[in-house]
Structure 1
Amino acid sequence: MKNPRRAYFFPPFGSPFHPPAGRIEERPYFPGTKGTVALKYIKSVFFFVNIILLASSAVARAAPGCTSDGLVCMEAITATGARGVDLWLESKRPGAITITLEQTAENLSPATDVPLEINLTGPKRQLVAELRALHADVSWKHSFRFHCMSGNKFAVPDMEYVYGIPFAPGQPVRVSQGFHGRFSHSDLGNMYAVDFDVPENTPVYAAREGIVIELEQAFTTGGPAEPLENANAVRIQHSDGTIGEYGHLRFNGAAVKVGQVIRKGDLVAYSGNTGRSTGPHLHFDVHVPMSGQISKSIPIQFYVGETVAKILEEGSRYQRPALELPTNNRMPASAVSVSSR
């Protein structure tokens, strides 16, 4: 289910455009002229604006470029005396994010030809780049775009953790696609995902405890031709920094809010059929970001009653036991481990 919805470019300064989730837009920052601020390549027509700005020593700001949920924003602020630009990153998400920042610049230092990787645990506002004019008597220009993914790229997954089947206890559910599924689980971000064949509006419960860091629930349609990014989802950050994703939810299908602390087994959402999908189902995976653009899913194991299933086989049915593991989400040494496909 991984998709390009986390790549954010922004429209021109002053535009009323608000990017929908998953779409790619562009937004250049305004340039400076001879160390002063010039909005949108201002030349002689608006020369008096520069005079006013110099006289007042005002600090110019571009409207912040934000992710579609408005919780992660990058803002460009002209440095004091208009000698360059400062980039500030603010995250209102309660967990970690990974950002890939791409910039283009003329007459600014340091060089911006190499993308900048940023890790930030919010809520927090942080200065992430300071660029200064190389030559005071030459115009400078700057633009940026950033890609954002929830999670910390340096997270170390707890590979011993035993996940719960994300449905009500005693409810058998069929696995329609498992690890390395040929239909859509062959890429890095999905190779360890599991699709559960359930009707729309099926209650979905947390497979692991954590904190809700991101959700999407505005999409209404689904089908094989729908864009990848148009799938509703809830994302929960776990204690080891990994992200659990519950995808293809119904419209307004989230039963939680960003920032909410979730226990294993809590109701988090209702299943649906949004985004690129061949039928109603729940997509579940656990992943870590490799950058602000790419994630990597990790293999996980499930408690299925008396055993731990290392792999949920396609076509097989599984159910969540009435009683959860009594050993801190670790399987007792005496229990059987099922690892065959």
Structure 2
Amino acid sequence: MGRIIALLLIIFGLVKGASSPLVFETLVTPLQESAASIEQLSRKPIMKPNQQLLRNFLSGVETTLVIGQELSGAKEIDKQVLKSYLKDLRELSHTKESIDQLYRKTLDTAMAQSDKTSFEDLVSVSLEPLHHPRIRSEVIAFYQKNYPNHSLKSVEALCDEQELEEKSIQTAIDQEQAYEEHLRILKRSEVSAIKKTAQIGSRNSVMVSAEPTAEGGFVFEAENVNPYTVTMSIDFEILNNLKASEKLPLFVEIPGKTKKKVLELSRISSMNGINYRSSYGWVRGSAFAVHQDDYLYKLPFAKGSDVFVSQGYNGETSHKGLSAYAVDFPVPVGTPVYAAREGTVVGAESRNNLGGTSAEYRQYANYVIIEHSDGTMGNYYHLKQGGVAVAIGQKVMRGDLLGYSGNTGYSSGPHLHFSVSKVDPISMRRPMNLPIKLQTLQGIVTLPHKGDRYTVQ
């Protein structure tokens, strides 16, 4: 609903004073791209009871596309027709969500009942829910259990997608040194000495200490010296005669430059001895962040410039799975890069001058990472050597200069890789990209694809 209202306001503003043509039919493009898969789905026997719902959606997309084309070609916009057009778009979007839910439920039922015929019919249709990490993992697990000969090309493609994502995630973790695990719990007296030598992003930039209590238990306190939020985990291999105050393993968010009590162990019996063995880990970012979905991100380039997309959401090469929601903009080396959203600089690297198409170059990417007010991270990658214009801890406003584009790291050519991410709340250690809204002169973009061209507003 918020997106439709924003679209309505922007479109009416453009109608009132725009000199450039208005391409209204592009608003139905995301639904049109789903129509081919839904057409396939409508032919499957298992979907026969819901065939009318699917057919109504397909018919609605065709009709709405025609109306959008008529609006784009009109010399004057009939506001009543436009209002009806946007209402139809909203209803079609709700129908698409219902179809996705129906698809997920039907697929779950097929796997629960070991109905291989229905399973094969459903996974042969590449609807968006099939690429959700949890659903994809469940599909692959069912497939590996019930298809020892690996005979389904559609699921084999999902396996490849998952493998690529896992490699990409591990690379991000290795490259950014974002995750540390199996760290030792400190004594309270050790914290001061460790803190003096802790560098931003280093292993001990997040410290956990334990202090005995008068009742025979322990209180655990975490301190994060980094300027950014981290998600910390703590668990116990041994816990004798002690009861934890929180469910284990414990995952907790620690804001930047803060310390907080995270856990208490209470003694169960005063008659018996106590013992524990524990470790903790942390990852940059918050798994508990709630993205501000109505925020309109600026294209990260100079106002008035034209850019196009070489790889968009669910791209052909690296934008898959948890990494699906990212955008690549091919721009010449040295192109100024601006903040798409205000926040605090929490990561920056500009020393590298190497780039290439093999995995060995991953560690050489230059970048800037911005933490936003909602706990998400804005990621700007492949900057040129010496091409970072900000410092860690610096506050930046929307539109401020961050640096200059380049071709460093794992890159097939000069471009800027841009994404917004949080910590995946399932694994609690992987980065997970989020879909966002991009503000352009052509209107709000919610589904950037390869070949799209935009003008920076």
TM-score where L is the length of structure 2: 0.52
Residue in 1 that maps onto 2:169: 3
Please give the secondary structure, in 2, of the residue aligned with 1:3: helix
Residue in 2 that maps onto 1:289: 423
- Is residue 348 of structure 2 the alignment partner of residue 215 of structure 1? yes
Identify the structure with the greater helix proportion.
2
Which of the numbers 299, 304, 318 marks the counterpart of 2:440?
A: 304
In 1, Cα distance between equivalents of 2:241 and 2:329: 51
CA RMSD of aligned residues (A): 3.8
- Is residue 408 of structure 2 the alignment partner of residue 274 of structure 1? yes
Confirm or deny: 8 A CA contact 2:387 2:405 kept in the other structure. yes
Amino acid at match of 1:128: V
Instruction: List aligned pairs for 1:1-341, cutoff 5 A.
Output: 3-4=169-170, 21=177, 26-29=182-185, 59=189, 63=194, 69-70=201-202, 72-77=205-210, 79=212, 86-107=219-240, 109-110=242-243, 114-131=248-265, 140-151=275-286, 153-155=288-290, 157-188=291-322, 190-223=323-356, 224-226=358-360, 231-291=365-425, 292-321=428-457
Confirm or deny: 8 A CA contact 2:355 2:409 kept in the other structure. yes
Amino acid at match of 1:151: S
Confirm or deny: 8 A CA contact 2:289 2:374 kept in the other structure. no
In 2, Cα distance between equivalents of 1:266 and 1:251: 19
Please give the secondary structure, in 2, of the residue aligned with 1:258: coil
Q: Would the alpha carbon gap of residues 199 and 181 (structure 1) be closer, same or farther in structure 2, given more than 3 Å must change?
A: same
Amino acid at match of 1:240: D
Q: Which runs of 5+ in 1 are unaligned?
A: 9-18, 31-36, 38-57, 322-341
Identify the structure with the greater strand proportion.
1
**1:282 positional shift:** 1.3
In 2, Cα distance between equivalents of 1:195 and 1:262: 22
Deviations 1:11-58 (A, max 9, x none): xxxxxxxx982576644458xxxxxx9xxxxxxxxxxxxxxxxxxxx9
Confirm or deny: 8 A CA contact 2:332 2:406 kept in the other structure. yes
Q: Which stretch shows the higher mean deviation, 20-29 or 283-292?
A: 20-29
Give aligned-pair identity as a percent: 33
Q: Would the alpha carbon gap of residues 110 and 154 (structure 1) be closer, same or farther in structure 2, given more than 3 Å must change?
A: farther
Deviations 1:254-309 (A, max 9, x none): 22123322111110122233333333321111123234413332222222214222
Higher RCO (CA < 8 A, seq sep 6+): 1
Q: Which runs of 5+ in 2 are unaligned?
A: 1-164
Q: Would the alpha carbon gap of residues 138 and 232 (structure 1) be closer, same or farther in structure 2, given more than 3 Å must change?
A: farther
**1:197 positional shift:** 1.2
TM-score where L is the length of structure 1: 0.67
Aligned residues: 283
Amino acid at match of 1:130: E
In 2, Cα distance between equivalents of 1:4 and 1:84: 37
Deviations 1:65-92 (A, max 9, x none): 96862484123345369x6654432223
Q: Would the alpha carbon gap of residues 298 and 29 (structure 1) be closer, same or farther in structure 2, given more than 3 Å must change?
A: closer
Q: Would the alpha carbon gap of residues 306 and 94 (structure 1) be closer, same or farther in structure 2, given more than 3 Å must change?
A: same
In 2, Cα distance between equivalents of 1:216 and 1:87: 33
Q: Would the alpha carbon gap of residues 299 and 113 (structure 1) be closer, same or farther in structure 2, given more than 3 Å must change?
A: closer
Please give the secondary structure, in 2, of the residue aligned with 1:110: strand
Confirm or deny: 8 A CA contact 1:59 1:79 kept in the other structure. no
Confirm or deny: 8 A CA contact 2:243 2:268 kept in the other structure. no
In 2, Cα distance between equivalents of 1:165 and 1:180: 19
**1:103 positional shift:** 3.9
Confirm or deny: 8 A CA contact 2:234 2:248 kept in the other structure. no
In 1, Cα distance between equivalents of 2:268 and 2:431: 37
Q: Which stretch shows the higher mean deviation, 173-182 or 268-277?
A: 268-277
Higher CA-based Rg: 2
